Amino acid sequence: MNLKIIFSILSSVCALSAHIPYLWSTFFGRVRPHAFTWLIWTITTAVATAGAWKGGGGVGAISPTISVF
C-alpha cells in the first residue's frame, strides 16, 4: 500500500475522532453549537478542499473532504 494512502487514512481517522468529544458534549447539553459558526467553518473547509482537489492534492485531499461532510 502506498505511504500517502496510509497517512491519508490516519489523518481521516484522527479528524473524525477529534469530533467525538464535541458531539458527546453537544448530545448531553454541555455545549450549544451555533449555526453560523458551523456554516462559516463548513464553507471555509469546503473552499480549502476544492483548492486541494483542483491543485492536484490527490489522496491528501481525502481528509478535508471527509471533514466537510
Residues 3, 69: Cα–Cα separation, whole Å: 24
pLDDT above 90: residue 44: yes
Do the beta carbons of residue 55 and residue 4 sit within 8 Å?
A: no
pLDDT at residue 54, rounded to an integer: 92
SS3 content of the chain, % helix, strand, coil (to 5): 80, 0, 20
pLDDT tens digits, one per residue of 51-65: 999 998 888 888 888
pLDDT tens digits, one per residue of 3-39: 888 998 898 899 889 889 988 999 999 989 888 988 9
Q: State the total domains in the chain.
A: 1
pLDDT above 90: residue 43: yes
* Terminal-residue alpha carbon distance, the chain: 26
> What is the extent of the structural domain holding 16?
3-68
With cut-offs at 50, 70 and 90, classify the pLDDT of residue 40.
very high
